Structure 1
Amino acid sequence: MREQRRNRVPRTRSTRSKYNIWCLPEEVQLLLFAGLPARDLLSVRAVHSKFRNLIDSNPSIWSTVHFHGEWPSPGNRTHFERAVEHNNIEAIIKLGVAYLYNEGISEDGKAANNSSQTSKYFCKAEALSPLPFTWLFIRPPWSASGTCCKAMVFNNMKNHCKTKASSSSTMYCIAKILSLFDDEAKQKEAMDWYQKASNHGSPHAALVTWKNAQSQNRLDPGCSLNSIRQLRECANNSCIDVKLTLFECYSKGQFGGLTKPQIAESISQLVKSSRPMGTSDMFFQQQNLNASMRYILIDWLVEVTDMKDFDNLTLHTAVRCIDRYLLLQPTTRSNLQLLGISAMVICSRLLEKDIITIREAAWLTDGTYAYEEVVRMIGEIVAVLHGQIRVPTVLDFLKLFCNLAAVDRQTEFLAQFLAEMTLLYTEFGSNSPATIAASAVFLSRMLLQQDFPWPSHMVEFTGYKVVDIIPCTLLLFRKCFVEPSLTDHRDVTLMAIKQRYSESDFMEVSKMEVMKYTELCSMLGAQSVLDDNSTREDDEPCHMDFLSPNKERMDQSELSKDRDSMVVTPFVELSEAGHDNSVLASELGNVSFDSVGTGYEGDQESEGEMEVDEEEWSMDTHDGLDEPIDISSELSLNTFSAILAVDVLSCDSNSEDTSNSDLSSLAACFSPGTKRSRQGPSPGSRRSYRINAGGKLSPCKGSVLQPVQNVYSGRLRSHSKGHQHKNVTQRQRRSQFGCENRVNLEYLS
């Protein structure tokens, strides 16, 4: 034993370095502070007067600080306003939405004051954003009295453009709102505003005026040639809608004086600019989510889209918003469906004439989320994306490629089906939208056994050779025709897209028989090898309780029969097609639509304010501090880990006691408010649900996601017909739109 002790190698001890964050140059400190969350930035500012002076003297820090997960409140409003002074677009958007819906700013906000603040922030946001977007928040319908906050914001923005120098985006927003009215006088006024915005350099307004002129001079060849040249000038801007419209004209043979090689070069440049979506790396950022949860969410949104008769572009744009948000902001399981329905609200307001109202969005989740939560999530999504909602999607490139290839309707429907199936899988994130669209067109022509599935002119116009799209084509075939669809917690197969494209309107393309995978591989000269995870026929179904545990699938015929009754929302905000409020009032029973004197009858669709369990964070500064205080007691886990890593850079490299996991655990110990969370059952666990006293399935605590309403059937749940939902808050139970009054909505089913 003594001999073993003599031969033992002495353990090297790690010594704390004397170099830390205090010794770093100011330039390096600024790089550390830039882009910090607002909560952490103000905690660092409170540590020492040195940091306070450094942060206050550099406005660029406030222009880059982000407010992810934070919402304006009386405790932090001054810090939001400080970021607004330095053109922080995220703070501008959140403050504008908060004042518009009177959410979180004050308890007794008046419409006149809030509308003035909202218009100020919206005009500022339009001047900073490359894409006009604020009009979707204040678009009609408005209250009949005209005193709602939306109408007042519109009038303030309109007066601002008349009296002061405004951006072309603000003028476009005014024109867009006026164009949504059926009044002929307002339609004419809208065209005047479109012309003003076009003259000030708005490409979106120039596209609208171009389309209007094109419809009037359709039969004149000379005007047609000149119009293509005008559209080409507008396409020099980065507006994707203008470019797609121009290339659609090119695909129809309207070259506008250019040669075929020049046209091919222009289109190939757009294709090359398409970048991979990155969804395959999403779950490195999202530790609490997985691909199956996202699959179920998208499957649900497909049926919401079908139920509301939305365009495919609305669905594709909503999914892109969800993915881009998840790549930037960590999200909990309980908020995943809130993210999905809020993205649908935004995209329906942006792209559709009929919209999903905020109250309807909360109702579609069966009261799982309150009206105020939807408002905050809408503001959060738009703020995180900096107002850039409309981005190129797979469907945009698909329509372009179908026009270039001159495909028939069956081929186009089959390609749309394949493209929509890619929305379910994160594996396609390593490909660009243009690559996925090219693979869908190529595979569709192969499955229909058409000659020359990828003609030579497609290679010239797109820049894609067959060898370039073979990997994505094989993955597309496997996901759509080889691998089985995901199943929920009751072993019900999720087939919303396949059911949708099995209808006669889409020529039943999802029912067609296709070749075998080995036959496709032999035709393409590829090796027929399936991965171990390529098929799950013999595996256990994935038990996921995303939607309500009482969820029952309907066949497509029954869904179509109930869709007409579900399209109309039983709430105050209706589409322009509109229904008489008196009829709605009589059918809704005791529900009151009066909010006289508040000025918010067109905006606040639910009574009362949301009860927030979490305490509001107050970012008070300590100006009198001259000595350093314990940083670990103020910063969050991520920031403290970064500072701790800088602090131990000079430790002995041979030490076996220091590791990344040690740093993380040490930071977790010092991080305030850090609690050990119980790990719930895994997604594949058999214990993801239980049978309650009523004999119905309900999820276990800590299961994958909270139960929500099944909108597939288009009917209210049994617990909504006289029984309280367990997720309805106390304020919602007292609301006039509570579960008691939903008994009167049985006419919808």
Structure 2
Amino acid sequence: MPFTRGKKPAASGGKALRQQSAPSTENQEDGSQVKRSSSPPRGAPKKRTAFIDITNAHKVQISLPGRKKEGGKKAVKKTNITSVTAKNQTNLKKSVSSEESTTEREKTDTEEEEEEPQSRLKALVRQIPAHLERKPIPPEFDIDSESADDCYMCPEYAKEIFDYLREREEKFVLSNYMLTHSSLNPEMRAILVDWLVEVQENFELYHETLYLAVKMTDHYLSKASIHREMLQLVGSTAMLIASKFEERSPPCVDDFLYICDDAYKREELISMEASILQTLSFDINIPIPYRFLRRYAKCVSASMDTLTLARYYCEMSLMEMDLVSERGSLLASACLLMALVTKDLGGWSPILQFHSGYQASEVAPVVRKLHLMLQAPADDKLRAVRNKYSHKVFFEVATVPLVDISVLDKALSS
């Protein structure tokens, strides 16, 4: 057993132990534990506690240095029984009167609470800031109450989350930055995105990781000037950062060096990672169209094949330089509208307008850009997205015929 600090008493027999003036205190570590015996075994060292229990402080005598004991005996103060009885009666009267006054005050407080419950409630309501007040959602537009028991869906504030993402989009609006690069062109960027799609498939990464990597690449290229030989390094490093942000188990640095065919060194990739993060001010939570697409598809209860068709259009748009400047929420709206019209499931409904914040006239220009992009002849060098969505896992949506532009114009006008 560990020994506490202090002098070890001489084991001179039971008589010496009985003459000790300092009473022993009981150790009470937990209420559930059994109290240990206060008398130490013969010859054991004396226990010493760091602090004295305040509830037993009046029972403990502390001997201070320089103070002599009178005769080695405790001084006992005799009190008169008559005086104690008189004091007890006085204290009893005081306690009775205090209890009566307390009871009267409680009655008064209860009456006041019963008289003004509504006024107090109104005062509490007025204290809530305006930006924290939840706007009521019409019952016909409520798409979150059905998942009220699913905490992962955040049904209480899902609408507020996507409204916040809509506001955050304004911070990440891009322009055609390719005009500022002398050694890059849109075709090189499309080849890079096509390669990133293959990386996402090979590593079995989330689609959010792919979209975020493309977004970070675009934002970095809009602020930094690089040579064409470093373009693949930028894309693979952006995918590494996005994997760390989105994935549970992201690939390591060596994995990305391998997929680049060892064209870059480990130090170069780590240096590029620091450069991207510093250039973007470590603000990489960029709203992506994929999140909005899943939200808007839930508004119309779209089936999985319809959602996958919209995802195919959205992923194809990643390679188009003309669509880089479009906001993710607007691009997702256009992709879903095209999928709904292709499947003959209607057009832009009021519930989509409520949750997206866009009218059909605002979505129409992006829909026409998407249709023009999909109508163009397929490039044999850029087959990753088409091959991916031609698989049975993705319902072979890449083989679905493209809807006629006249049908789209009719749906947009109605």
Q: What TM-score range do you get, normalising by the shorter chain?
A: 0.5 to 0.7
Within 5 Å, which residues of 2 pair with 1:115-134?
none
Are 2:195 and 1:300 aligned?
A: yes
Q: What is aligned with 1:404?
A: 299
Distance 1:255 1:284, change over 3 A: farther
Distance 1:282 1:403, change over 3 A: same
Are 2:381 and 1:502 aligned?
A: no
| CA-to-aligned-CA distance 1:125-164 (integer Å, 9 cap, x gap) | xxxxxxxxxxxxxxxxxxxxxxxxxxxxxxxxxxxxxxxx
Are 2:401 and 1:513 aligned?
A: yes
Q: Is the 8 A contact 1:255 1:263 kept in 2?
A: no
Q: Is the 8 A contact 2:178 2:184 kept in 1?
A: yes
Task: Give the letter for the 1:250 counterpart.
Answer: D
CA–CA distance in structure 1, aligned partners of residues 142 and 233 of structure 2: 36
Task: Give the letter for the 2:202 counterpart.
Answer: M
Structure 2: gaps spanning 5 or more residues: 1-128, 133-140
| CA-to-aligned-CA distance 1:176-195 (integer Å, 9 cap, x gap) | xxxxxxxxxxxxxxxxxxxx
What's the secondary structure of 2:250's corresponding residue? coil
Of 453-462 and 295-304, deviating more is 453-462
Task: Give the letter for the 1:472 counterpart.
Answer: V
- The structural deviation recorded for 1:325 is 0.5
Q: Pick from 445, 449, 453: which aligns with 2:340?
A: 445
Within 5 Å, which residues of 2 pair with 1:148-297?
250=144, 252=146, 254=148, 270-275=165-170, 278-297=173-192
Q: Is the 8 A contact 1:502 1:508 kept in 2?
A: yes
CA–CA distance in structure 2, aligned partners of residues 381 and 426 of structure 1: 20
Q: Is the 8 A contact 2:338 2:408 kept in 1?
A: no
Distance 1:251 1:499, change over 3 A: farther
Task: Give the letter for the 2:382 counterpart.
Answer: L
Per chain length, whose mean CA-contact separation is higher, i.e. which structure has more relative contact order (CA < 8 Å, sep 6+)?
1
Task: Give the letter for the 1:413 counterpart.
Answer: T
Q: Pick from 373, 376, 382: which aligns with 1:483?
A: 376
CA–CA distance in structure 2, aligned partners of residues 331 and 323 of structure 1: 12
Q: Is the 8 A contact 1:338 1:377 kept in 2?
A: yes
Q: What is aligned with 1:460?
A: 354
- The structural deviation recorded for 1:248 is 11
CA–CA distance in structure 2, aligned partners of residues 305 and 512 of structure 1: 23
Distance 1:276 1:525, change over 3 A: farther
Q: Is the 8 A contact 1:436 1:472 kept in 2?
A: yes
| CA-to-aligned-CA distance 1:408-453 (integer Å, 9 cap, x gap) | 10111011111111111121123211100111111110110113x2
Higher helix share: 2
Are 2:250 and 1:355 aligned?
A: yes
Q: Pick from 311, 314, 332: which aligns with 2:206?
A: 311
Task: Give the letter for the 1:304 counterpart.
Answer: V
CA–CA distance in structure 2, aligned partners of residues 276 and 405 of structure 1: 29
TM-score normalised per structure 1: 0.34
CA RMSD of aligned residues (A): 3.1
CA–CA distance in structure 2, aligned partners of residues 497 and 484 of structure 1: 14
CA–CA distance in structure 2, aligned partners of residues 360 and 341 of structure 1: 10
- The structural deviation recorded for 1:251 is 6.8
Q: Pick from 332, 352, 374: which aligns with 2:227?
A: 332
What's the secondary structure of 1:328's corresponding residue? coil
Q: What is aligned with 2:17?
A: none
Task: Give the letter for the 1:465 counterpart.
Answer: Q
CA–CA distance in structure 1, aligned partners of residues 219 and 230 of structure 2: 16
Q: Is the 8 A contact 2:314 2:332 kept in 1?
A: yes
What's the secondary structure of 1:502's corresponding residue? coil
Q: Is the 8 A contact 1:251 1:403 kept in 2?
A: no
Q: What is aligned with 2:287?
A: 392
Are 2:387 and 1:524 aligned?
A: no
| CA-to-aligned-CA distance 1:52-79 (integer Å, 9 cap, x gap) | xxxxxxxxxxxxxxxxxxxxxxxxxxxx
Q: How many percent of aligned residue pairs carry the same amino acid?
A: 25
| CA-to-aligned-CA distance 1:26-60 (integer Å, 9 cap, x gap) | xxxxxxxxxxxxxxxxxxxxxxxxxxxxxxxxxxx
Distance 1:485 1:276, change over 3 A: farther
Task: Give the letter for the 1:324 counterpart.
Answer: H
Q: Is the 8 A contact 2:341 2:411 kept in 1?
A: no
CA–CA distance in structure 2, aligned partners of residues 394 and 454 of structure 1: 18
Q: Pick from 215, 237, 250: which aligns with 1:320?
A: 215
Task: Give the letter for the 2:370 counterpart.
Answer: L
- The structural deviation recorded for 1:268 is 5.0
CA–CA distance in structure 2, aligned partners of residues 251 and 327 of structure 1: 41
Within 5 Å, which residues of 2 pair with 1:77-88?
none
Q: What is aligned with 1:469?
A: 363
What's the secondary structure of 2:170's corresponding residue? coil
CA–CA distance in structure 1, aligned partners of residues 359 and 165 of structure 2: 16
Distance 1:264 1:314, change over 3 A: closer
Number of aligned residue pairs: give it. 272
What's the secondary structure of 2:283's corresponding residue? coil
Are 2:371 and 1:493 aligned?
A: no
CA–CA distance in structure 2, aligned partners of residues 386 and 267 of structure 1: 23
- The structural deviation recorded for 1:307 is 0.8
Q: Is the 8 A contact 2:390 2:397 kept in 1?
A: yes
Q: What is aligned with 1:434?
A: 329
Structure 1: gaps spanning 5 or more residues: 1-232, 237-246, 487-491, 527-749
CA–CA distance in structure 2, aligned partners of residues 386 and 301 of structure 1: 23
Q: Is the 8 A contact 1:276 1:429 kept in 2?
A: no
Distance 1:269 1:468, change over 3 A: farther
CA–CA distance in structure 2, aligned partners of residues 477 and 252 of structure 1: 34
CA–CA distance in structure 2, aligned partners of residues 437 and 507 of structure 1: 20
Q: Is the 8 A contact 1:411 1:444 kept in 2?
A: yes
CA–CA distance in structure 2, aligned partners of residues 313 and 267 of structure 1: 16
- The structural deviation recorded for 1:524 is 3.4
Task: Give the letter for the 1:479 counterpart.
Answer: M
TM-score normalised per structure 2: 0.60
| CA-to-aligned-CA distance 1:370-407 (integer Å, 9 cap, x gap) | 11111111111112112222221111111111122221
- The structural deviation recorded for 1:288 is 1.8
Distance 1:388 1:522, change over 3 A: same
CA–CA distance in structure 1, aligned partners of residues 227 and 246 of structure 2: 28
Answer with 1 or 2: which has the greater Rg: 2
Task: Give the letter for the 2:353 counterpart.
Answer: V
- The structural deviation recorded for 1:306 is 0.5
What's the secondary structure of 1:430's corresponding residue? coil
Q: Is the 8 A contact 2:300 2:352 kept in 1?
A: yes
- The structural deviation recorded for 1:267 is 5.1
Task: Give the letter for the 1:338 counterpart.
Answer: L
Distance 1:455 1:523, change over 3 A: closer
Within 5 Å, which residues of 2 pair with 1:699-714?
none
- The structural deviation recorded for 1:461 is 2.2
- The structural deviation recorded for 1:252 is 4.2
Task: Give the letter for the 2:326 counterpart.
Answer: N
Q: Is the 8 A contact 1:276 1:431 kept in 2?
A: no
